Amino acid sequence: MLETISVWIAGGLTLCIFSFLYGDNPIYKFAEHLYVGFSAAYWLIYVWHFTIKQMVINPIVAGESGAWLLIIPLFFGVIMLSRWLPERYSWISRWSIAFTVGIGAGMVIIGQVQGYILPQLKATLLPLATGSWKTNIDNFFIVIGTVTTLTYFYFSRREKSTMSKFSRIGTAFIMIAFGAAFGYTVMARISLLIGRMSFLFGNWFRIVKPL
């Protein structure tokens, strides 16, 4: 019985979201606000139970070694809530925001350099003579595409210089990359649509066999 009710609720909300195809309407807004509300409530409970309670409160209450250091992040978390106070007190939250943004920027820079930029550079330095003509062609296009694309972003060049011709080739590679990325995005969205249609006509209406 509970499973049947869940399927009907999920199917009804799916149709509410699909109603946006006919334009913005109260039914769609209801489903949208319901989704946002449930998501906010879920993450609030998740953060309280798995982050604040288990990683901060429980160690301090249990008196674990070095638990007093947890007072520092707890303090910054509390003063971030001062954004809700009047303007003459809300500036205190800037300390927490600046601390969070600084740490986040440092972690992102290190992660991008070690996990993306350096491996990308390593994957671009390829030999053009490998003994296999197929591999040679692949490596040639990768090297030419990388060099010409970087040339396109060299904005201080002269428009009629030789470098501008290479930048046009780089533009073609950029458009091909954007087209492939867009096609992948469309394919992923169609896959999600197929999943929802399979749920509606399979699990809910039981017209077809569910995937």
10 Å CB burial of residue 63 (0-12, 13-18, 19+) is exposed
Cα distances from 107 to residues 61, 101, 111, in angstroms, run 30, 10, 6
Higher confidence at residue 180 or residue 163?
A: 180
Is 0.85 surpassed by the pTM of this model? no
128 vs 197: CA distance, rounded Å: 48
Between helix 71-80 and helix 93-112 the angle, nearest 10°, is: 110
Per-residue model confidence as pLDDT tens digits over 40-72: 999 999 999 998 899 888 998 888 888 888 888
Please say if the pLDDT value at position 211 is more than 60.
yes
Domain ranges of the chain: 128-211
